[in-house]
Every structure is written in structure tokens, then in C-alpha cells.
Structure 1
Amino acid sequence: MINVVLLGAGNVATHLFKAFTNAEEVTVKQWYNRNLRTIEKHKNKVAITDNLEDLVAADIYILAVSDDAVADLSSQLPFENRLVVHTSGSVSLYAIDKKHKRGVFYPLQTFSKAANVDFSDVPLCLEALKNKEDLPILKKLAKAIGSQPHKVNSDQRAALHLAAVFVNNFTNQIYRLAHEITESQGAEFEILKPLIKETARKLDEVSPFLAQTGPAKRNDKKTIKKHLKALTDEHHKDVYELLTKSIQQTHGTFTKPKAKPNKK
């Protein structure tokens, strides 16, 4: 049995609590948050506290807090030489106070409190300062909630977090722009959802490079010109041109515009 103390009450903490509660090999001994009202509804399932001095002994202390809060909160913990981990993709392992055994338990997924999460679909990126001592228990915790653990170093984790911004945050913004485009003509965005799903599903079979299609890859200048003419929002046009150029550079179809002759 792995005993856990959870600190924080945001999206990640909320979903980890649900997963840990449903795991046979995990016991959440305590849940801390500085605003007790946020977690008060769970007091019948777990001991809750807003006082760091009241923290109980556990195998792992998980700081599921904002990136900026990791260093300060870890320094305030009233004990030392216990395994303390954070859940951030971008925060250094060394942000955790050196009086602790330090680690990272980073679930690489997008979390919203209202949306259910199946942790069997959530890769857990793990890092520990003392791999032989602490990594095994982090792997065991990941597997206990059905996740696939991945040992990564700090540079790899930072690269994964950066890449995640592209595939999740930026992609979602593209969906928003597409929604604005369909709305402008009274078309239904819902009609695009099968295409969105197939685009993601195809990556199970081929690389993003091989999966690329469309006018930019084909260097279909006529269609590109037609699309740009149809875009009345300058922001939409800027994004279209930027991504078209990126695709063309990737696939070798980009040609620099000819320089205009100097007029004397």
C-alpha cells in the first residue's frame, strides 16, 4: 500500500484524488489546501487540513499546485528527508527544497474539473533525484492508477511540455478559429468533428510528416490564394499564412517570393 498526502486543489489535484481513491494499492491519508472550503466536500472520504503543521507521515507528498508555488510550498513543509514530488511539466526538479527527497510525477494530459479522465490514457512522466531509491515507488504509484510510467530527465520533460503546448493548446486555438470561420457563414462546426477525430487517430498508424495533406503540402497556389481571399479577419489570415509557410518549408514546397525590382 502506498500512502499519499495530496497538496493543492486545482484540476490536476482533483483528478489525482479521484484516481487514487479508486486505486486498491493507494491510500490518500490527507488532503491539504490553504483554502479549506475548496476541498471540504471531500471530508467524508479523506482527512483534510489547511495547516501545514498538521501534515501526517506518508510515503509520497504530491505538490499539485501552480508552477510558481512549488518552491515556496516545499520550503514550508515542516519535515525533511521525505519524498516530495511536483506535477509540473516545466518546473525544475531542483525547485523542490533540498531538505527533501525530490521527484516529479507529471501527468501529460489536459485536465478540466468537469471532464472525466481515464488514467490508462495518461502517460506519467517520472523523475527522481535518487533513481534507485525513489523511482520504483513513483512507478508503482503510476501503475496503481492504470497509467504507463515513463522515466524522463529534466530536458526531455521540458521538451514534452513544450510540445504539448503545440499539440494541445495551440491546436485547440486552431479549433476556435475554425469555429469562428464556420460561424461567419452559418455553417455547423459539428460537421468538422469526424475530421478532427480522424486526424488524431491517423497518428496511431503514420508519423505527422507522412500524415500531412492539403493545399500547402501540394503547393496548390490557386487554392491557397482562394482561401486567403475568403478570409476577411486579418488574424485568421496571418495564422493561415504562417502555417502554410511552415508546412511548405517542412515538405520542400516553399518558394521565396520574388524581390520587387527597385524603381529608380
Structure 2
Amino acid sequence: MKIVIIGSGNVATHLAIALKKAGLPVAQVWSYHYVNAVQLANQVGAQAIAKLDEVDHQAALCLIAVKDDAVAGIAEQLAGFKGLVAHTCGAVPMSVFAGKFANYGVFYPLQTFSKSKALNFDDIPLCLEANSEASMQLLKQVAIKLSNRVLEVDSDKRKILHLAAVFACNFTNHLYALGEQLLEANGLEFDILRPLINETASKVQHALPLAVQTGPAIRSDEQTLKAHQELLLQHPHLLEIYRTLSESIKKTKS
């Protein structure tokens, strides 16, 4: 099976490496920057291509792993591709491909990816959607070789899933960054928070988040809340975030 990867970023890189590891070698890699395509192609033994019109139309599957806003434009340039085309985005509907391809779908891995951090695809949920049963079967054929968690998720539900992931992952990581800034400004190292972060993440592997919520807001420790806010008076942006999240925690008590 010939597979083409469109993109060379975090998702494209991990996906290409996982495909090769699973015995599904990537035939071609395209990127906005040819040097990046060459770098990824060399990692997985593929051909780097500089233009989208060089995509092999005999390939069975073309996976578009680029930022959300770029998918529609890439699809326009690939119009007429005879194999199955799928994007890897959480928030882009499958309908972005309607009228452009006969066979299309979505191959969305629900995970946070960084090139510098190796991942085991076995437990990564792969959320699939396709415009036909034949297209779905091809996506599943690939997915089950990568992961033990393969699900059919339509575009509407995938939007909600992606939104929930932003809250659970992207916003959480941003809060880590804000915590780091507070520590650094006061001569403390971020490393001191790592055990706390690990334990917080560990708890929700065995219980629902609401059941293990801790902190001054859930306990209604008003004096502590007031003291924290006084410390943030010189940081109005952080003060607003602190107040908003504290009020949200109070309102979502079990």
C-alpha cells in the first residue's frame, strides 16, 4: 500500500514514523518547506516532493497532516486524487473534501504531539470518519496496525472531542506556563511542581476529575483566595484568570 504524507510538522512526523514501524511505509512526503520534507522523508525512507502535483496518484492513501486552516487549500490542489484522502484534524469537518474526491475521510489521532518526545501509538485513540463503507474499511485497515483504540467518530462529535481536548490539554499546559512564570519571577524552579503535576494527572486515570478536585476554591477558603488575588494585583491578566477559574470551580462542585 502506497501512503503519501502531506505535512512535516508534529503530527505528520509521528504518524509517518508510526506507519513505518507498523510495516506501512510512507512512499512520499510533501511540506511547505522542501527541506522539512527531505528531513522527514529521510527518517522513514520515503521520497520528498517539492510540489503537490508530484503526488503519486497511484497511492492508496493520502494523509493531510497540516494546520486546520490549510486543509481546504491543500484539498483544492489535490483535487482529482484517485485514492483515499483523509485529514488528521479535530475541528475540520469531513465535508471539506466533498466534491473534490470520490473517496475521503478523517484520521484524527487524539493526542498532543511534539517532535522531541517519542510516543507509543498503541494507546492513542484514532478517531475515524469516512464518506463510504469502503473508505472506512481502508482507514480501519491502517488504524488497527497503529493503535488498539480505533473509533468511528463523526464530524459533529469530533468537534466536541477536540474542544474538550483543548480544555484538558492546551489550556492546562498554558496554566503550567503561567505557573512557571510566577515561579521564575520569584527565584523558584518549575521542577518543584513536577511531582504535583504528575499526581494530578495520575488521579484522573482512576477517577473523574470533579471527584478529585482540590484547592482553596473547592474548599471555599476565602482568606486564601483573597491572599492569592492580592499577590496578583500587579498582574491583572493573571488575576482575571485566577478569578474566572476559581468561580468556575465553585460553581461545579459535586
Q: TM-score w.r.t. structure 2 length?
A: 0.90
SS at match of 1:104: strand
Tell me how far 1:34 sits from its aligned partner.
4.3
What does residue 143 of structure 2 align with?
A: 142
Q: Give 2:29's match in structure 1, choosing from 31, 40, 53.
A: 31
Matches within 5 A, 1:244-255: 244-251=246-253
1:118-157 C-alpha deviation (Å, 9 max, x unpaired): 2123211111111x21212212212212352121011110
1:93 aligns with 2:91: no
What does residue 125 of structure 2 align with?
A: 123
Q: Distance in 1 between matches of 2:169 and 2:227?
A: 28
Q: Distance in 1 between matches of 2:149 and 2:159?
A: 19
Letter in 1 for 2:153: V
Aligned length: 249
SS at match of 2:26: strand
Q: Distance in 1 between matches of 2:193 and 2:81?
A: 53
Q: Distance in 1 between matches of 2:33 and 2:237?
A: 40
Q: Is the 8 A contact 1:5 1:29 kept in 2?
A: yes
1:234-261 C-alpha deviation (Å, 9 max, x unpaired): 2222111111100011117xxxxxxxxx
Q: Distance in 2 between matches of 1:80 and 1:237?
A: 52
Q: Distance in 1 between matches of 2:188 and 2:8?
A: 39
Q: CA RMSD in A?
A: 1.9
- Identical columns (%): 41
What does residue 51 of structure 2 align with?
A: 51
What does residue 192 of structure 1 align with?
A: 193
SS at match of 1:12: helix
Tell me how far 1:80 sits from its aligned partner.
4.3
Letter in 2 for 1:8: G
Tell me how far 1:49 sits from its aligned partner.
1.4
| Larger mean Cα displacement after TM superposition, 150-159 or 96-105 | 96-105
Q: Distance in 2 between matches of 1:151 and 1:165?
A: 20
Q: Distance in 2 between matches of 1:75 and 1:229?
A: 54
Q: Is the 8 A contact 1:88 1:106 kept in 2?
A: yes
Q: Is the 8 A contact 1:94 1:102 kept in 2?
A: no
| Larger mean Cα displacement after TM superposition, 33-42 or 63-72 | 33-42
Tell me how far 1:78 sits from its aligned partner.
5.5
Q: TM-score w.r.t. structure 1 length?
A: 0.87
Matches within 5 A, 1:44-83: 45-56=45-56, 57-77=58-78, 79-83=80-84
Q: Is the 8 A contact 1:74 1:97 kept in 2?
A: no
Q: Distance in 1 between matches of 2:181 and 2:54?
A: 51
Q: Against the structure 1 CA distance between its residues 29 and 184, is the aligned structure 2 distance closer, same or farther, given a 3 Å change threshold?
A: closer
Q: Distance in 2 between matches of 1:72 and 1:192?
A: 42
SS at match of 1:169: helix
Following TM superposition, where does structure 1 have runs of at least 4 consecutive aligned residues deviating by more than 6 angstroms?
none
1:84-122 C-alpha deviation (Å, 9 max, x unpaired): 000111111011252311100011112222222221232
What does residue 13 of structure 2 align with?
A: 14
